[in-house]
């Protein structure tokens, strides 16, 4: 069986190196190369050198178009503007993509959807199996418990994370809103400070914590008058995201154009 050639955008970063290791460890996958920003110290090196492996012949480049020419699929956990640009390159090259970047605006998400009309793209704010099961549970709980329960979402990440709330926290909010049949934008409360008044009925609140090296903790609370239900997920290694992304990259082979999520990859319906 021919291996799927997988390229890694931003391959020299922490997540990029985790993805390189996961591709090398996955049967049926092979490294096609990686990208870094112009001037990066990894440019021109064999990608395996970044993770202490034997040379593969696949190099790091500052030209994303060159990577798309070599790869069957590219995995991208970079930054919103870069991910959108890469999706446009994927559409032009006829290559699939897996995007785990968070913090995309409405317009940037629309740009991904436009690119996905030409090629298959998996886009998910969180690639882990556990979190995607959590999303399904939260949607069901919100639907079953009804408006008598207030919903609050708490998330904790390492001090270097630049977007808040996390993409996963927002996805959890969207799942809860779907369960209630409302739009998250109409009910979200993303900050509280000072004399805020009573909590609005039907609101979905967010609380953000940052510090240390926390990989990612998410908790959804359903607070009733006489009882409280808490559903949580705690990540102890970024490997869970890399495992999900590589699984998605393999799943994309032979798929038609379209914008898919991890629910599709994992068969969660």
Nearest CA to 170 among 158, 157, 159, 160?
157
- Whether 114 and 93 have beta carbons less than 8 Å apart is answered as no
Distance of CA 229 to the CA centre of its chain: 26
User: Is there a catalytic annotation at residue 95?
Assistant: no
User: Is there a catalytic annotation at residue 218?
Assistant: no
Catalytic residue among 5, 86, 157, 233: 157
Question: In the numeric block, which tokens belong to residue 117?
Answer: 């009309």
- Whether 95 and 119 have beta carbons less than 8 Å apart is answered as yes
Nearest CA to 244 among 34, 100, 44?
100
DSSP string spanning 178-223? HHHTS-HHHHEE----SS--SPPTT-EEEEEEE-TT--EEEEEEEE
Catalytic residue among 161, 195, 218, 233: 161
- Whether 46 and 59 have beta carbons less than 8 Å apart is answered as yes
In the sheet that 228-235 helps form, which strands lie side by side, from edge to edge?
188-189, 204-210, 150-157, 216-223, 228-235
Distance CA 176, CA 170 (A): 10
**HSE value, Cβ hemisphere, 13 Å, CA-based, for 37:** 4
Residues serving a catalytic function are: 157, 161
């Amino acid at each position: 069986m021919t291996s799927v050639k997988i390229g890694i955008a931003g391959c020299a970063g922490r997540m990029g190196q985790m993805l390189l290791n996961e591709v090398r460890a996955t049967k049926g996958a092979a490294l096609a190369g990686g990208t870094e920003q112009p001037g990066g110290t990894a440019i021109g090196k064999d990608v395996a050198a970044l993770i202490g492996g034997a040379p593969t012949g696949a190099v790091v480049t500052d030209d994303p178009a060159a990577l798309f020419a070599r790869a069957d699929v590219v995995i991208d956990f970079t930054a919103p503007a870069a991910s959108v640009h890469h999706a446009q390159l994927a559409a032009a090259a006829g290559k699939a993509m897996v995007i785990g970047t968070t913090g995309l605006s409405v317009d940037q998400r629309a740009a991904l959807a436009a690119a996905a009309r030409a090629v298959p793209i998996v886009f998910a704010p969180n690639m882990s199996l556990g979190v995607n099961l959590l999303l399904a549970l939260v949607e069901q709980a919100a639907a079953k418990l009804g408006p008598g329960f207030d919903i609050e979402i708490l998330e904790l990440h390492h001090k270097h994370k630049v977007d808040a709330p996390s993409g996963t926290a927002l996805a959890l909010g969207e799942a809860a809103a779907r369960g209630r049949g409302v739009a998250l934008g109409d009910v979200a409360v993303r900050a509280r400070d000072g004399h805020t008044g009573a909590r609005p009925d039907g609101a979905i609140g967010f609380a953000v914590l940052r510090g240390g090296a926390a990989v990612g903790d998410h908790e959804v609370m359903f607070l009733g008058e006489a009882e409280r239900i808490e559903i949580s997920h705690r990540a102890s290694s970024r490997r869970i995201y890399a495992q999900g992304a590589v699984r998605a990259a393999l799943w994309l082979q032979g798929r038609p154009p379209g914008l898919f999520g991890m629910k599709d990859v994992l068969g969660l319906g």
